Amino acid sequence: MNIAAISVLKPNEEPILAGRLNGKRIFLRVLDELSALDGPATVILDFKPAEIATSSALSELVLPLRDHLRSRRPPAYVVVANLADKVAEELDDLLSRSGEAILACNFSKPKNISKARLFGRLDPKLLETFEMIRRKGETSAVELHDESAGNGIGPTGWNNRLAALASKSLVMETSHGRTKKYRPVLEIA
């Protein structure tokens, strides 16, 4: 899996992300920088230079970028990195209010990822499924169904949960013949 790290701010920009227009501008710049992606990738959206970010800027950047990159073929998975405390608080609040979640981590080049964690809020059933995938490392809907026989959830129900987690960039989907397997985008300690 390729890792593409992109800074949300250029070196000469102010360390404050504020306003919807600024969020949209950064979204478009990041898309332009990622136009050369030719395979599945984890996109590290590096907030290191940002000291403050408003909900309005984040709402035009983070989730739209995640959704756009997940819909492309091959997909890419967005992870936010190096969040200052104020940025982390604002993003976590935005995600929690909207019932969304995303992975966050600390990142340094070349590809050093540490302190991976979940930001925002997941539905309890999706959180349970996410935890099961984390424990297993990689799984499929059929495997989850077989392991949890008797709980009333069929393979289609498990598949829906797995697809929902993939749409949030929390797990990555790979095809193995006619079977889809899912594994965490990042290992969370």
Question: What residue ranges do the domains of the chain occupy?
Answer: 2-120, 124-184
Kind and range of the H or E run holding 41? strand 41-46
Which pLDDT belongs to residue 154?
83
pLDDT in the model for residue 17: 95
User: What is the spatial distance between Cα 50 and Cα 153, in angstroms, rounded to a whole number?
Assistant: 43
First CA to last CA across the chain, in angstroms? 20
The region that residue 129 occupies, defined by phi over 0 for left and psi between -120 and 50 for alpha, beta otherwise, is alpha
136 class by beta-carbon count within 10 Å (0-12 exposed, 13-18 middle, 19+ buried): middle
pTM of this structure: 0.91
Contact partners, residue 138, CB within 8 Å, separation at least 6: 181, 182, 183
Cα–Cα distance list, 88 to 48, 49, 83, 104, 189 (Å): 11, 13, 5, 9, 18
Residue 11: cis peptide before it, omega within 30 degrees of 0: no
Q: What angle do CA 149, 171, 154 make, to 5 degrees?
A: 20
Give the pLDDT of the chain (189 residues) as one tens digit per residue.
688 999 999 988 999 999 999 999 999 999 999 988 888 889 999 999 899 999 999 999 999 999 999 888 788 999 999 999 999 999 999 999 999 999 999 999 877 899 999 999 999 999 999 999 999 999 988 888 888 766 778 888 999 999 999 999 999 988 878 888 999 999 875
Class of domain 124-184: mainly alpha
Do 17 and 8 meet the contact criterion of CB atoms below 8 Å apart? yes
Closest CA to 17 of 100, 109, 101, 90: 90
CB atoms within 10 A of CB 34: 17
In this structure, are residues 23 and 61 in contact, taking their beta carbons and an 8 Å threshold? Answer: yes
